[in-house]
Amino acid sequence: MEYKYELHCHTGDVSRCASCPAEKAVELYKARGYSGMVITDHYSPQTFLDRHLFSPQKEIDFYLSGYEKALAAAGDDFTVLLGMEIRFYGMTNDYLVYGMTPEFIREHGNLMTWYPRRFHELCKKNNMIFLQAHPFRPYIYRENPKNIDGCEIYNGKAGDTDINEKAQLWAEMHQMKIRVGGTDFHREKNLENLSGIITDEKIRTNSDLLRILRSGDFRVIK
């Protein structure tokens, strides 16, 4: 049996650029045969623009609200995990983090003050995966492969464009072990080009997700 999982999903509850509420996102993905999703709301200056921009640790309950609403709506037959799309101060790059927990966010202060190399080390110490999102989107530069665990080789918002083709070639050139896909869901229109991964086993926990991503035992939905 095959299972489909979304790895790049934003909620209108938290990400200012998104419009679909978390509960609705769960409903939409269930209707399309997905078995689960990772909520990767933006942890970026835009998200906290009017919410303690320089001390987002005061707004953790707000930041987690999209994930918590999705989790409450999921029921027993749909997996919802916490991830993150982080952007550090003074940068235009975005990075996806898997294996994230509420406790990690609460214990590490303002995560935007870090930078890729140091944050990658922090992720390794906490058994998390750190990937570059959509590495060939305009105004983004490619991160040093030493500072990441891999990248997003297919982004649904980019569709069948050279942005995704270049990401695939870049990952191959640097022999990146983890190459994922994600819809980059913000609104219902994004359902026209769904992505994510297909697995042969159910993902129920962060441990399941991390193990499968590291093993490469999945296929990217394109």
* pLDDT score of 159 more than 90: no
The mean pLDDT value for 66-91 works out to 97
pLDDT value at residue 54: 80
pLDDT value at residue 161: 85
**Alpha-helical runs (H) found in 59-101:** 60-74
pLDDT value at residue 102: 98
198 three-state secondary structure: strand
Nearest to 206, CA basis, from 123, 148, 147:
123
The mean pLDDT value for 44-48 works out to 94
Predicted confidence (pLDDT) per residue in 102-147, tens digit: 999 999 999 999 999 999 999 999 999 999 999 999 999 999 999 9
pLDDT value at residue 160: 78
pLDDT value at residue 89: 96
The mean pLDDT value for 55-63 works out to 92
Q: What is the pTM of this model?
A: 0.96
* pLDDT score of 204 more than 90: yes
Nearest to 159, CA basis, from 208, 111, 113, 194:
194
Between 158 and 28, the more confident residue is: 28
pLDDT value at residue 53: 74
Per-residue pLDDT band for 56 (boundaries 50, 70, 90) equals confident
**Fold for the domain defined by 3-221:** TIM Barrel (3.20.20)
Per-residue pLDDT band for 29 (boundaries 50, 70, 90) equals very high
Domain residue limits, the chain: 3-221
Q: What is the mean pLDDT of the chain?
A: 96
Apex 179 CA angle, 219 and 42, nearest 5: 110
**CA 85, 101, 205, 147 torsion-angle sign:** positive
Place of tokens 């992720």: 123
Q: Give the bridge partners for 131, in sequence order.
A: 96, 150
For every residue of 16-83, DSSP letters joined together read TT--S-HHHHHHHHHHTT--EEEE--EESTTTTTTS-TT-GGGGHHHHHHHHHHHHHHH-TTSEEEE-
Place of tokens 């037959």: 77
Per-residue pLDDT band for 11 (boundaries 50, 70, 90) equals very high
pLDDT value at residue 166: 97
Nearest to 221, CA basis, from 185, 192, 197:
197
